[in-house]
Structure 1
Amino acid sequence: MDEVRLEGASRLRHALSVLVLVLAAGLTLLPFVVMVAVSLAAPGTVYDGSLLPAPSWTGAFANYALAFSSQPLLRFMLNGVVVCGAILVLQILVAAPAGYALAKLPFRGRPLLFGAVVVSLLIPIQVPAIPLYLAIAQAGLLNTYAALVLPFVVSAFAIFLFRQFFLSYPDEVLDAARLDGFSELGIVWRLMLPAAWPAVAAFATISVIAHWNDLYWPLVVVTRTEMMTPPLGLLAFRASGETTGNVGALMAGGVIVTAPLVLGFLFFQRHLVRGLSVRARN
Structure 2
Amino acid sequence: MITTRLSLPSAIVRHGVLLLTGALILVPFIWMVSLSIKPPEEIFRAHFSLFPHHWYAVENYRKALTSVPLPRYMLNGIIVCATILALQIATCAPAAYALAKLHFRGRDLLFAMVLIGLLLPHQVLALPLFILGYKLGMLNSYAALIFPYVVSPFGIFLFRQFFRSIPDDVVHAARLDGLSEFSIVWKIMVPMALPAIIAFSIFSVVSHWNDLFWPLIAVRDENLMPPPLGIMAFRNEEAGNDYGPLMAAATIVVLPLIVAFLAAQKWFVDGLTGGAVK
Residue in 1 that maps onto 2:101:
104
- Could you tell me how far 1:58 is from its partner in structure 2? 5.1
Q: Specify the SS of the correspondent of 2:119.
A: coil
Give the stretch that moved more between structures: 124-133 or 81-90.
124-133
**Residue in structure 2 matching 1:260, options 249, 256, 260:** 256
- Could you tell me how far 1:274 is from its partner in structure 2? 1.2
Output one character per residue of 1:11-70: Cα deviation in whole Å (capped at 9) or x when no partner: 111011111111111111011111111111122211222333433675111111111121
TM-score, scaled relative to structure 1: 0.92
Paired amino acid for 1:269: Q
2:64·2:249 contact (CA, 8 Å) conserved in 1? yes
Matched, 1:89 2:83: no
Q: Tell me, in whole angstroms, the C-alpha distance in 1 between the residues paired with 2:201 and 2:247.
A: 27
**Residue in structure 2 matching 1:142, options 128, 139, 142:** 139
The runs of 5 or more residues in structure 2 that have no matched partner are none
Paired amino acid for 1:267: A
Matched, 1:215 2:212: yes
Paired amino acid for 2:125: P
Q: Specify the SS of the correspondent of 2:46.
A: coil
- Could you tell me how far 1:76 is from its partner in structure 2? 0.7
**Residue in structure 1 matching 2:173, options 164, 173, 176:** 176
Residue in 1 that maps onto 2:246:
250
Paired amino acid for 1:134: I
Q: How does 1:73-84 map to 2 (within 5 A)?
A: 73-84=70-81
- Could you tell me how far 1:248 is from its partner in structure 2? 1.0
Give the stretch that moved more between structures: 206-215 or 121-130.
121-130
The alpha-carbon distance between structure 1 residues 159 and 245, as it changes in their structure 2 partners (threshold 3 A), is closer
Matched, 1:201 2:179: no
Q: Tell me, in whole angstroms, the C-alpha distance in 2 between the residues paired with 1:220 and 1:230.
A: 15
Which runs of structure 1 show a deviation greater than 6 angstroms over 4 or more consecutive aligned residues? none
The alpha-carbon distance between structure 1 residues 143 and 231, as it changes in their structure 2 partners (threshold 3 A), is same
Name the % identity. Answer: 48
Residue in 2 that maps onto 1:271:
267
2:37·2:57 contact (CA, 8 Å) conserved in 1? yes
- Could you tell me how far 1:239 is from its partner in structure 2? 3.7
The alpha-carbon distance between structure 1 residues 239 and 94, as it changes in their structure 2 partners (threshold 3 A), is farther
**Residue in structure 2 matching 1:163, options 160, 163, 172:** 160
Matched, 1:229 2:220: no
Give the stretch that moved more between structures: 20-29 or 57-66.
57-66
Q: Tell me, in whole angstroms, the C-alpha distance in 2 between the residues paired with 1:76 and 1:131.
A: 27
Paired amino acid for 2:68: Q
Q: CA RMSD in A?
A: 2.1
1:45·1:54 contact (CA, 8 Å) conserved in 2? no
TM-score, scaled relative to structure 2: 0.93
Q: Tell me, in whole angstroms, the C-alpha distance in 2 between the residues paired with 1:116 and 1:63.
A: 48
